[in-house]
Structure 1
């Protein structure tokens, strides 16, 4: 098991349901959430499609590398996740 940090930008208006969907995806792939931070809504530096605002979240978690790649794929399929960044953390 490795440590990861997942930062998501969620479409405004679908924040709570998307946060719930993210947790469902993580639990489906046996990823353990250690910490969650909600950074709130911010204006985006560059619009993503039609969206100029986004809701930022950070999840610190543990999982296997093969499961993390599946999670990244599922995040791309969710239209309410504007951007996602998964990095391996050391701690």
Structure 2
């Protein structure tokens, strides 16, 4: 198992349901959440589609490397997740 940090930018107006959907996706792929941070709403540097605001979240977790590709794909299918960044961390 490796440590990862997942940063999501979520569309305003659908924050709570999207955060719940993200947790469901992680649970489905047996990813262990170690810590969650809610960074709140911020103005985006560049608009994503028509969205100029986004709600930022950070999840620190442990996962097998093979599962990361699968969750990234599922995040792309969710229209309420504007952007995702997954980074491998040291601990």
Distance across 1 between alignment mates of 2:66 and 2:47: 31
Aligned runs of 1:1-91 on 2, under 5 Å?
1-91=1-91
Task: Give the Å deviation of 1:28.
Answer: 0.1
User: Number of matched residues?
Assistant: 91
CA RMSD of aligned residues (A): 0.2
Report SS of the residue matched to 1:18. helix
TM-score by length of 2: 1.00
Structure 2 residue runs without a partner (length 5+)? none
What are structure 1's unaligned runs of at least 5 residues?
Answer: none
Runs of 4+ that moved beyond 4 A: none
